[in-house]
A and B are shown apart, each in its own frame.
Chain A
Amino acid sequence: MRYNEKQLQALSRQPAEMAAELGMRGPKKGSVVKRRLVKLVVNFLFYFRTDEAEPIGALVLEHCRVNREEPSGFSITFVEDTERKYHFQCCSENQCQEWIEALRRASYEFMRRSLVFYRNEIQKMTGKDPLEQFGISEETRFQLSSLKA
């Protein structure tokens, strides 16, 4: 699968929702915890060597699970292979909790579900479709049926 590295690098320089130096261990056997600058930009989690400007890599946070790992850490797995875990070590329980919450809300799919939920609730209460003002009420991706996935 081709993708444009320069474009992803540009994205990694955009303002972050969350950014911190965390311990990180990849899913490969024998991987060890390394210090990484971890940066959440939209639904991408970038990770950098602490002394480099360009990221080593990124995780696209769609169809993933974020789990707490003891002590004060969390892991990210993807539905496609739940055995492959990306481990992260935080400095404190608080920091860990903040990251978990931010990551669970970071996907586009989460936003889409929130949107459909709010739309439905508002429509129930007011009898009007709040998406009409945006001119996107007809879009299939915002219909209730799109929740059936």
Chain B
Amino acid sequence: MKLNERSVAHYALSDSPADHTGFLRTWGGPGTPPTPSGAGRRCWFVLKGNLLFSFESREGRAPLSLVVLEGCTVELAEAPVPEEFAFAIRFDAPGVRPHLLAADGPAAQEAWVKALSRASFGYMRLVVRELEGQLRDARQTLALHRRSSQKTGTSRYKPQAPDLCSPGLENGHFPSKDCSPVGMAEEGGSRPAGWALAEWEFQGPASLLLGRGQSPVSPETSCFSTLHDWYGQEIVELRRGWLQRARGGQAECEKKDRP
């Protein structure tokens, strides 16, 4: 089966953020006995999204192997060498051998197990959908409150989330900083949130007004902290609901993953 290996290798080495990196001992791979034995081999591992790459060394320029973290579970395991902190990636697919790995210490072992077990596309999608819903609800709450307290009838409120598919945003790759809508946000760290952001980010009334340091309601209600607390209560309520829904969703996913 073919794979666009060159572009995958390029992605592995690109400076897009790695989700986890470190040295691990590995057993297995073609040409090795089916039962792991001996000291294995120490390699540099890079987790990017749902792809786990291994390299000969930290400076290695060509990935030795690729493991796709879909349809798998990550569990603690026993290594052939007793002092190693081993874990295994087990695949649901029949006939696919588990991948045995070992970290240098318990902390590294835990961090790897955590990172790998959350690496699937489905997990990422679940979190993104959840936040998408939260943002929509938060915007609606703000807009509703603004409408009821202003009673002017005119509203700049737009319920839809910003169009993340705007030009320049293609598959997570941004050819240049200038056409990266989300990339603009990175400048936000040193100044108040909402300032100097791309125009399209000012879609909701809240970001529009809060970003300028104004109250999202009538000019008389100028105490931000009061408003903040007021919104906060609603958000807490909403979040309780979301949490419950998220748990339900996750349970469903788990059910689906393991029929």
Contact = CB atoms under 8 A, between A and B. Distances in A.
A92 interface: no
A121 B198 CA distance: 13
17 contacts: A1-B5, A7-B67, A7-B68, A59-B3, A63-B14, A79-B7, A104-B169, A109-B16, A109-B49, A117-B182, A120-B185, A120-B188, A122-B131, A125-B204, A127-B228, A136-B127, A147-B182
Interface string B129-146: 011101100110010000
A94 interface: no
B43 to A, nearest CB: 12
A132 to B, nearest CB: 10
A124 B193 contact: yes
Contacts of B7: 60, 62-64, 78-81
A106 B50 CA distance: 12
A79 B5 CA distance: 13
Interface string B67-96: 110110000000000000000000111011
B10 A42 contact: no
Contacts of A141: 17-19
A145 B186 contact: yes
A144 interface: yes
B15 interface: yes
Interface of B: 1-11, 14-19, 29-30, 48-51, 62-68, 70-71, 91-93, 95-96, 118, 120-122, 124-125, 127-128, 130-132, 134-135, 138-139, 142, 161-162, 164-165, 169-173, 180, 182-183, 185-186, 188-189, 193-194, 201, 204, 206-207, 210-211, 228, 231-232, 235, 239, 242-243, 246
A147 B183 contact: yes
A62 B171 contact: yes
Closest 7 CB pairs of A and B: A109-B172, A57-B2, A10-B93, A108-B49, A78-B7, A80-B10, A118-B131
A140 B29 CA distance: 30
Nearest to B95: A6
Nearest to B122: A42
Q: Considering residues B7, B70, B120, B125, which has the most beta carbons from chain A within 10 angstroms of its beta carbon? A: B7
A144 to B, nearest CB: 6
A122 B138 CA distance: 7
B235 A126 contact: yes
Contacts of B3: 3, 8, 57-60
A118 B51 CA distance: 24
Contact of B121 (A3, A43, A57): A43
B91 A7 contact: yes
Contacts of B63: 1
A63 B93 contact: no
